[in-house]
């Protein structure tokens, strides 16, 4: 069977017409894989536990003599899709992103509200076995931005900038619904895992930024004389391009992001800027270990090495290799350390072909808001609780501001992306989150509830006074319940005195629509929600 063949569930979720329209994102697919861990070796360092738990901020400091092993920080680098929020969850690990510097691939600053389930990121931070992880830097890494060239109804995919984009049951969509499916000529941002001359999409987002043309991939067929190279089947001319950083030389197998001002002409993309991401030690930086998702491209290298998304991976020993070996096209999650240009793998999690565990398994931890029937919002994501096993209370009587833990899968209804919950745990707001209020500085992201005035409302169980704050993206007259905000300030006597308030959009189209419902159209909103739930 072709490793990238889409499951029957995914095929059933693709809404296609004779005009070539496509809807993406009906994910509800159980995943499976085999994880094999190797003992620590001199070639592959051991990093901290990856258990997903409540986390605390911490400096990425090395241990001193006599340090408690439970609190020793390990510098780590994670590359993969976001699978949940509260703070941010990547590759199964929950990282506190409260103090993280978040930027796009052009180094422009982003807010936490700009992150989506399925967004591919490069996360630098620290972990320890007691508190989990704390992110210091998060870089968003889309695979391609551009116009949809074609839609393949047989292979269930797209072509964007000459790149084949594979859609399966784990793909999340944003701005694409059954009523407004994707079509040729639309502009999209695609996040995914590159490998085997294709992009296995984790997120496809419709966009209005028609001047944003970019492509991330691995250089091949470099011709320095002609100043050209390939990314998969697309030819790139860099005759007049600005290359950064200058310290890294362009070479075959280099990982790059190409920016252009115009779409490809006659199969050639004329690059305006090229950012080189480096390989090996350059890619790992100061991190003690790197963990990333990729696609197996070759299993016949010397010494048992495999090629995974352009990276040469050498298992530390035979115990790392999953029973039965690897299959070309198979998706894997790898943890290890670079030695020169080779990644020495201490753990490889082999995933079933066409399935990416985690990408279609969403986890949200935060306060609930904006309940309509059995639809709620958690961390800016709409959650359908109609089929969930609920512990600790009832969804129908859930008060705003209640802390919940949601597990489920992403899907698409008439309004957009929604997490269809399989289980919800209702609890009091975690005590350690309360303890964090003692911090001198504080940032909050969430939905407003119990709004009285600009000087009195709540977010995530915290009362906020924004009367003296700088407002960005809105004004005081727009403040109301269910509005999404990102707030910076200081805690004084249990009150968050805001210094800056940024008006943010929710992380899903359906949340944006539901959040605009007023008291005068509650009946309409409830009817719509019930119809969406039935779907």
SS (H, E, C) 335-359: EEEEECCEEEEEEEEEECCCCCCCC
Q: Tokens for 269, please give them.
A: 């993309």
Q: Tokens for 139, please give them.
A: 């870089």
Q: Tokens for 346, please give them.
A: 């201490």
Cβ-contact 84, 55 below 8 angstroms = no
**Residue partners of 518: CB distance under 8 A and separation at least 6:** none
Cβ-contact 492, 465 below 8 angstroms = no
Q: Which residue has the tokens 């051991």?
A: 46
* pLDDT reported for residue 319: 74
The pLDDT tens digits for 193-211 are 998 899 999 999 999 888 7
Cβ-contact 290, 278 below 8 angstroms = no
DSSP designation for 322: P
C-alpha to C-alpha distances, 489 to 59, 200, 452, 462, 502, nearest whole angstrom: 21, 40, 19, 12, 12
Cβ-contact 133, 88 below 8 angstroms = no
Strands 268-276 and 289-298, how do they pair? unpaired
* pLDDT reported for residue 523: 36
Strands (E), 466-529: 470-472, 484-492, 495-503
Q: Tokens for 407, please give them.
A: 């597990």
Averaged over successive runs of 10 residues, the pLDDT of the chain (535 residues) comes to 32 34 40 36 34 33 42 81 86 85 90 88 81 86 94 88 88 85 93 91 90 91 96 94 86 91 92 86 84 87 82 83 75 89 86 46 81 85 90 86 86 78 79 41 73 88 89 87 82 85 66 36 35 32
Angstrom distance (rounded) from CA 328 to CA 238: 31
Cβ-contact 323, 350 below 8 angstroms = no
Angstrom distance (rounded) from CA 530 to CA 525: 9
Strands (E), 279-434: 289-298, 306-308, 311-315, 331-339, 342-351, 362-372, 375-378, 381-384, 389-391, 403-412, 417-427
**How far does Cα 27 stand from its chain's mean position?**
15
**Residue partners of 507: CB distance under 8 A and separation at least 6:** 85, 113, 115, 116, 117, 379, 380, 381
Angstrom distance (rounded) from CA 69 to CA 403: 31
Coil vs helix vs strand at 521: helix
* pLDDT reported for residue 352: 57
Strands 495-503 and 470-472, how do they pair? parallel
Q: Is the pTM of this model over 0.85?
A: no
* pLDDT reported for residue 142: 95
The terminus-to-terminus CA distance of the chain in angstroms comes to: 31
Task: Output the DSSP codes for 80-129.
Answer: EEEEEETTEEETTEEEE-TT-EEE-TT--B--GGG--TT-EEEEEEEEET
Cβ-contact 285, 308 below 8 angstroms = no
Could you give the angle at the alpha carbon of 181 between the alpha carbons of 176 and 183, nearest 5°? 115
- Burial class from Cβ neighbours inside 10 Å (0-12, 13-18, 19+) for residue 324 reads exposed
Q: Tokens for 61, please give them.
A: 């400091």
Name the maximum alpha-carbon separation found in the chain.
69
Cβ-contact 455, 469 below 8 angstroms = no
* pLDDT reported for residue 324: 65
The pLDDT tens digits for 141-184 are 999 999 999 998 787 899 999 999 998 877 888 888 888 889 99
* pLDDT reported for residue 124: 93
* pLDDT reported for residue 323: 62
Could you give the angle at the alpha carbon of 180 between the alpha carbons of 175 and 184, nearest 5°? 90
């Amino acid at each position: 069977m072709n490793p990238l063949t889409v499951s029957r569930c995914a095929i059933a979720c693709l809404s296609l017409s004779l005009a070539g329209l496509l809807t993406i994102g009906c994910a509800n697919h159980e995943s499976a894989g085999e994880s094999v861990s190797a003992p620590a070796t001199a070639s592959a360092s051991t990093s901290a536990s990856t258990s997903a738990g409540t986390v605390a901020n911490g400096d990425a400091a090395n241990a001193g003599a006599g340090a408690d092993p439970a609190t020793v920080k390990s510098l780590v680098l994670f590359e993969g899709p976001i699978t949940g929020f509260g703070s941010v969850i990547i590759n199964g690990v929950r990282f506190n992103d409260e103090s993280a510097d978040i930027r796009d691939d052009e180094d422009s600053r982003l807010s936490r509200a700009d992150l989506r389930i399925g967004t591919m990121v490069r996360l630098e931070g620290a972990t320890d076995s007691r508190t989990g992880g704390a992110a210091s830097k998060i870089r968003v890494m889309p695979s391609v931005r551009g116009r949809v060239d074609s839609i393949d109804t047989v292979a269930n995919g797209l072509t964007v900038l000459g790149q084949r984009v594979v859609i399966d049951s784990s793909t999340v969509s944003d701005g694409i619904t059954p009523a407004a499916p994707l079509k040729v000529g639309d502009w999209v941002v695609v996040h995914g895992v590159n490998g085997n001359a294709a992009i296995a999409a984790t997120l496809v987002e419709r966009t209005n930024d028609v001047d944003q043309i970019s492509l991330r991939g691995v250089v091949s067929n470099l011709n320095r004389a002609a100043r050209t190279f390939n990314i998969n089947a697309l030819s790139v001319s860099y005759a007049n391009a600005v290359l950064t950083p200058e310290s890294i030389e362009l070479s075959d197998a280099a990982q790059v992001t190409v920016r252009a001002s115009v779409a490809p002409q006659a199969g050639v993309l004329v690059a305006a800027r090229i950012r080189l991401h480096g390989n090996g030690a350059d890619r790992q930086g100061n991190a003690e270990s790197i963990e990333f998702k990729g696609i197996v491209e070759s299993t016949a290298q010397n010494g048992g090495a495999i090629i995974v998304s352009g990276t040469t991976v050498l298992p530390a020993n035979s115990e790392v290799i999953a029973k039965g070996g690897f299959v070309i096209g198979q998706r894997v999650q790898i943890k290890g350390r670079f030695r020169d240009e080779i990644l020495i793998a201490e753990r490889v999690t082999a995933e079933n072909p066409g399935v990416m565990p985690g990408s279609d398994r969403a986890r949200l931890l935060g306060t609930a808001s904006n309940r309509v029937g059995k639809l709620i919002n958690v961390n800016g994501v709409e959650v359908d609780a109609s089929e969930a096993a609920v512990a600790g209370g009832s969804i129908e009587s859930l008060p705003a501001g209640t802390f919940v833990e949601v597990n489920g899968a992403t899907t698409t209804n008439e309004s957009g992306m929604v997490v269809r919950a399989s289980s919800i745990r209702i609890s009091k707001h975690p005590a350690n989150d309360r303890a964090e209020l003692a911090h001198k500085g504080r940032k909050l992201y969430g939905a407003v509830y119990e709004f009285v005035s600009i000087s009195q409302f709540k977010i995530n169980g915290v009362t906020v006074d924004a009367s003296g704050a700088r407002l960005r993206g809105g004004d005081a007259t727009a403040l109301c319940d269910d509005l999404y905000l990102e707030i910076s300030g200081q805690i004084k006597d249990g009150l968050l005195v805001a210094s800056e308030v940024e008006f943010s959009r929710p992380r899903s189209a359906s949340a944006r629509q539901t959040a605009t419902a007023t008291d005068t159209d509650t009946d309409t909103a409830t009817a719509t929600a019930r119809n969406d739930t039935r779907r």
